[in-house]
């Protein structure tokens, strides 16, 4: 836990007296590309729930996900605008992407009865790699999210830089 504290720029002990979130089991860590946000899975009322901690160690709420539990396999974009994870709806597992800027949930239904197992969101949120279970086999698929999501770029990064040709 001390490593997580130093990666997030926290000082002192990670676990503080009276902080109920930090006294729970934690697993499945994912850092945003800029290292300022940490997503992890922790038990809440007996269900695996995603928690977000910012660089000063405080927990940021994710109210849009309360009805979509349990959670697993969190992944964050560069600045943490997008949070991708796997949730359960009835008997089906579902991959979703939350746009934390506007609070919008983007479910990613998979055709053919495939169930998502793990996922990884590209830092700019343009692609999502999914490990899926399909008829007893595990496969990796890459989804293009560029039509659905705006890119989450590092501070100061241009969306596109056109090539400038100089005349001799």
Residue 38 CB contacts under 8 Å (≥ 6 apart), including other chains:
4, 7, 8, 29, 30, 31, 32, 52, 53
Domain spans of the chain, in order of start: 2-144
Q: Which fold has domain 2-144?
A: Neuraminidase (2.120.10)
Return the pLDDT at 41: 94
* For residue 15, pLDDT beyond 80: no
The rounded distance, in Å, linking the Cα atoms of 20 and 66 is 18
pTM score over 0.85? no
The rounded distance, in Å, linking the Cα atoms of 3 and 78 is 20
Q: Are 94 and 108 in contact (CB under 8 A)?
A: yes
Lowest pLDDT segment from 9-18, 133-142, 149-158: 9-18
The residue with greater pLDDT, 61 or 155, is 61
The rounded distance, in Å, linking the Cα atoms of 77 and 156 is 16
Return the pLDDT at 12: 38
**pLDDT band at residue 110 under the 50/70/90 scheme:** confident
How does pLDDT run across 137-146, given as a tens digit for each residue?
899 999 999 9
How does pLDDT run across 66-82, given as a tens digit for each residue?
888 899 999 999 999 99
The rounded distance, in Å, linking the Cα atoms of 116 and 50 is 17
Mean pLDDT of the chain: 82
Q: Which of 30, 50, 8, 4 is nearest to 120 (CA)?
A: 30
């Amino acid at each position: 836990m001390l490593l997580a504290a130093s990666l997030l720029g926290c000082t002192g002990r990670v676990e503080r007296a009276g902080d109920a979130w930090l006294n729970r089991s934690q697993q499945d860590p994912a850092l945003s590309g800029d290292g300022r946000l940490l997503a992890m899975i922790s038990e809440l009322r007996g269900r695996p729930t995603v928690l977000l901690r910012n660089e000063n160690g405080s927990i940021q709420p994710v109210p849009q996900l309360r009805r979509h539990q349990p959670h697993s396999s969190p992944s964050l974009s560069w600045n943490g605008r997008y949070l991708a994870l796997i949730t359960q709806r009835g008997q089906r597992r579902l991959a979703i992407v939350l746009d934390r800027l506007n609070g919008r949930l983007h479910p990613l239904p998979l055709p053919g009865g495939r169930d998502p197992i793990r996922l990884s969101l590209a830092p700019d949120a343009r692609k999502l790699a999914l490990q899926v279970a399909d008829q007893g086999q595990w496969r990796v698929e890459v989804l293009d999210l560029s039509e659905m999501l705006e890119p989450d770029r590092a501070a100061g990064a241009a969306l596109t830089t056109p090539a400038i040709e100089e005349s001799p």
